[in-house]
Chain A
Amino acid sequence: MIFVTVGAQMAFDRMIKAVDEWAGREGRTDVFAQIGPAEYTPRHVAHTGFLEPPQFAERAKAASVIVAHAGMGSIITALTMGKPILVMPRLGDLRETRNDHQVATAKRLSELGKVAVAMDERELIERLDRLDELTSTGALGPYAQDSLIAAVRNVVFASQDR
């Protein structure tokens, strides 16, 4: 199963349309997409507008690979479940988000080996054609790095010392 998600806030028709057309061409029936408040209606893949957190987790868990916008909610969910994730960043110029921060995020996390990146629809199709090559680096633990936890904890438990 391939789980496709655009996150809870905005549609991302450019990505959904590319995945939908790919699924139609390849005859894939194992794709489920969460598409947000979309204008484009997929013709080949099962889809829904929104998923509440438990349903979202269920869909992600059932998937062998996750395809998503480059949002941290989607990325962290995939990483904690140990699922390979392919992301396509939203672009500020196309009003898909307020700026190009997803491009920078995607590039950095890809350099760290956390995610696979497709910068546009063409690259997305290329990656989808070679989906088997995507691998997970193993499941991420449930919490932030110890050093970060310790720094925050210091402030929390120093707050009572006057």
Chain B
Amino acid sequence: MAESSISGKAPAASGKTPRVLAIASGGGHWVQLLRLRPAWEGAKVTYVSVRPAYASDVPGERFVAINDATRWDKVGLVKMAAKLLLIMIRVRPNVVVSTGAAPGYFAFRLGRLFGAKTVWLDSVANVDEMSMTGMLVKDRATLWLTQWPHLAGDDGPECHGSVL
């Protein structure tokens, strides 16, 4: 890998490209995650979602499909968590970014164990309050975001705009 040596910075610090795990469940969650792509341009990203066909949305990039599960599907959740643990070990992300839902929750818990920073962007669909999953990850989020200014607050999420 060619790396420019910029004077004034130790090579060990300047040469590192952050590893990002960008993860979401299907439908609107995935579509919203894709709209954040410029945020990790220049980083090494691995995408994770719940349908193999989504690989076509990120051609040429690393994409891993996992099973989908809701909070009522205990077996599915355990399977999802196990698969994510393997992905975490392989990717060793510096940052986990998620737009929800269950896959993001597990990725946040595991990511914190691995010392990763975490960004949670609650779906623009959550207009009246943060999602249930969003509330669950609150204490584990480096950056905890809503897309609606009226939901932001001192003790609440931050708002820096929306995917729209």
| Interfacial residues, chain A to chain B (CB-CB below 8 A) | 7-9, 52-54, 71-77, 79, 101-102, 104-105, 107-108, 114, 140, 142-153, 155-161
Residues of chain B with a CB closer than 8 A to A161's CB: 13
Stretch of B29-37, B73-81, B82-90 with 4 or more beta carbons under 8 angstroms from chain A = B29-37
A105 touching B95, Cβ below 8 Å: no
B contact residues, total (Cβ < 8 Å)? 48
A–B Cβ pairs within 8 angstroms, 18 of them? A52-B53, A71-B125, A72-B123, A73-B30, A76-B163, A101-B126, A144-B162, A147-B160, A150-B39, A151-B158, A153-B38, A153-B39, A155-B117, A155-B119, A156-B18, A156-B40, A159-B117, A160-B16
A160 touching B94, Cβ below 8 Å: yes
Instruction: Look across to chain A and name the residue whose beta carbon is closest to the beta carbon of B97.
Output: A152
Residues of chain A with a CB closer than 8 A to B51's CB: 8
| Interfacial residues, chain B to chain A (CB-CB below 8 A) | 13, 16, 18, 20, 26-32, 35-40, 42-43, 51, 53-54, 56-57, 94-95, 97, 116-117, 119, 121, 123-128, 142-143, 145, 147-148, 158, 160-164
B125 touching A72, Cβ below 8 Å: yes
A151 touching B143, Cβ below 8 Å: yes
